[in-house]
Each structure stands twice: as C-alpha cells, then as structure tokens.
Amino acid sequence: MTTVSDNIAFKITRKTDGTPAAERESLVANPGFGRAFTDHMAVVTYTEGRGWHSAEILPRQPLMLDPAASVLHYAQEIFEGMKAYRTPNGAVQLFRPEANARRFQKSAERMAMAQLPEDLFLEAVTQLVTIDRDWVPAPEVGTLYIRPFMIATEAALGVKPASEFKFIVIACAAGEYFSKDAGPVSVWVETDTVRASRGGTGTAKCGGNYAASLTAQMEGKEHGCQQVLFLDAEERRWLEEMGGMNVMMVFEDGTLLTPPLAGGTILHGITRDSLLTLARDAGMPVKEERYALDQLFADAKSGKLREVFACGTAAVVSPIGAFKSKTDSCTINNNTVGDVTAKLRQTLCDIQFGRTADPHDWIRTVA
C-alpha cells in the first residue's frame, strides 16, 4: 500500500479537566498493569487516495466506530508495545523506538493495512509522552507503557483490505507485570493448539494471534501455570515462544540458546534481540537454534539446562521455575531466579532507565 502523508503537524487539544494532581500521583505511585491510563491519546487517520492526515493529540475518549467497521468483523488490527523510562535525573526516554516503528510497518504489510511512515509513528509517540510526561512513574515504581495500534475503520462487510484506518496511541502508568515477590513463573506446555504456523501471521503483532492463544492460557491456569509455551505447528516438538514473550535457555557450559526466527513463526522481539546482543557483549556463547521439548525435559532432569526465562517489553525478563505438560513436568534451577537471568535483566534495565552507558545507541530522550 502507499506511503503518502501530508506534511503532518499534530493539532493539540489539551484535556481541560485533566486528572487532579493528587489522584494522578497516587495512581502513578501504585499503578498495577494496564489500568492507570493517561489523560491523552494520539490519533491519525488514513484515507485511501489522501494518505495519512488529521494528526491529533486529544483528551483520551471512547472511539466512534461504524458497527460495520472491518476491524470488528475481520480483525484487521495490529499493535505495538513499548515503554518510556524515567532516568535518575528526571528525564524521560524511549528504548529502540525505531525498531517498534519498523516492526509496525512489517505487521501492516502482512495484514494488508496502510503503511505508516516511521517518522509519523515516532512523532505520535513522542507527542503523547511529552504531554503526559507526569504519568511516567519513578524508576523504582515502573514505566509508562505505550500502546500504539492501528484499526481498519471502513464500514464494509465485503472481505477486502480496508481503505480507511486509524492509528492511535494510548499509554498507561505501569508497575511490574509479574509481582517480583512471587518468584519464577510456572509454564504450561500447550500441545493441542498452536500460536502460529508457517505462512501464517506469527511474525505480525496482530490482535488475532492473542485471541487464538487464550484457550491455552485458560488451560494452563487450570494446571496452576501463569504462562504458556507453544510448540511448532508441524511436528509439535520444537519450542517456539510464549503467548506474548520469547523464550531463552541457559546451559551448564554458559551457552544462551533461543529458537531461531528463520521459520517465520516467531515474533521478532526487540527484547530478544537486545538480550542476545548484551549476552554477546558479555562474551557468552549465543545460539539461535531449534530446541525440542523432550530435550528440555531431559536436560532439566540431568542438570544440563540451568536457567530458562521469557522476555518481552512488558515483563522484561521473567524467570521460569517449572514446566508442565500433559505427560511430563520438570523444575528449573530449583524454582529460583538464576544468576545469568538476573544479570541479563539488570544490564538491560540499567540501559533502559539510563543508569549506565548506552553502547549500542538504543536510547532516545523525549521529554
């Protein structure tokens, strides 16, 4: 699709009755995850023939949609997840936002949606973070979680790529995704349903992938597990990823291993890529290779497999303490947080929060 955009300037309408400071401060001090929404939103409209137009920062409000809007029927929807971090000196910064903008374009391409120029994506995020900068929590509390997304708004029940879209950015103050005190998570290995298949939409960040993963999550919960691990669709044998996070293994010889992207079924995680880079920086052997479920159970039991963790923007690094499937189970590292897992998490967070040097030029200061 075309990449037309008028030379876009955002029209800013400030919320006049914004959340009172005392209420905001109490929300930002104890935000939970995904409910302490900021006062504003960014909206940009796409119309075929005209391109992207009417860029606005508005008071956060419900959307008006025709009930025939394609997104409601055929799920033409994509999203991103990113964060703004408060540094020790009070500045607000983003982590690799261009990578989110590029991935958004890839997702749009797969879902036959309009291409959003990278600079427009970055400008919308920057404008929203700037106007709502008081919603960015103190670093010891958390981050501002940013959710850019695009929906097909054309009112048409015929199955075809829509000709009208809205790109929207919302944000919320966010604490830890998983409680720190709760320790490592237990993971259910899903063997009935799959998240992605070759040629499918596994590498696109589209809402439908998540809808398809929810029955497995429910099943996992019944077995006392907080997360789900999906296997490949063809052999039901190779580890792919969690419902919304990539997975990494640490072995007794110090090797870090994660499933490869080449099969086209694993989401290209920015956290995944950053951790692989930081591990290489630290001199760790890094492998992107297939790893079988039966091997995981065998290596966990022999002690060869030392640590396993999930990684993604929301939870950053989430240690895994146990796996359960219909036929087997194992414990990882005595259900405690491993040293390599803790070190990698710390190194990444120190860069994201501006507590240490940024050797790979990943940081963008916005406000």
Task: Supply the minimum distance, in Å, between the C-beta of residue 222 and ligand PLP.
Answer: 22
Q: Are strands 51-59 and 11-12 parallel, antiparallel or unpaired?
A: parallel
What angle (nearest 5°) sits at the alpha carbon of residue 17, between those of residues 26 and 42? 85
Task: Supply the minimum distance, in Å, between the C-beta of residue 201 and ligand PLP.
Answer: 10
Q: Are strands 316-324 and 185-190 parallel, antiparallel or unpaired?
A: parallel
Q: Between 10 and 323, whose beta carbon lies closer to ligand PLP? A: 323
Q: Between 126 and 213, whose beta carbon lies closer to ligand PLP? A: 213
Q: Between 27 and 229, whose beta carbon lies closer to ligand PLP? A: 229
Task: Supply the minimum distance, in Å, between the C-beta of residue 125 and ligand PLP.
Answer: 14
DSSP of 171-187: EEEE--SS-GGG-SEEE
Three-state DSSP state, 151? strand
Q: Between 111 and 131, whose beta carbon lies closer to ligand PLP? A: 111
Long-range contacts of 297-304 (CB under 8 A, 24+ apart): 297/323, 297/328, 297/330, 299/251, 300/330, 300/331, 300/332, 301/330, 303/252, 304/251, 304/252
Task: Supply the minimum distance, in Å, between the C-beta of residue 262 and ligand PLP.
Answer: 16
Task: Supply the minimum distance, in Å, between the C-beta of residue 169 and ligand PLP.
Answer: 16
Closest CA to 1 of 73, 55, 49, 42: 49
Three-state DSSP state, 345? helix
Interface residue list for ligand PLP (CB under 6 A): 81, 205, 241, 244-246, 267, 269-272, 312-313
Closest CA to 367 of 126, 170, 81, 97: 126
Task: Supply the minimum distance, in Å, between the C-beta of residue 60 and ligand PLP.
Answer: 23
Q: Between 244 and 321, whose beta carbon lies closer to ligand PLP? A: 244
Q: Between 108 and 131, whose beta carbon lies closer to ligand PLP? A: 108
Q: Would you state the structure tokens that stand for residue 131, as one six-digit string?
A: 């106007």
Closest CA to 87 of 125, 137, 123: 137
Q: Between 27 and 101, whose beta carbon lies closer to ligand PLP? A: 101
Q: Between 27 and 308, whose beta carbon lies closer to ligand PLP? A: 308
Task: Supply the minimum distance, in Å, between the C-beta of residue 81 and ligand PLP.
Answer: 5
Cβ atoms of residues 213 and 220 within 8 Å: no
Query: Per this entry, what is the length of the chain?
Result: 367
Those residues with Cβ within 8 angstroms of residue 264's Cβ, 6 or more apart along the chain or in another chain: 198, 199, 202, 203
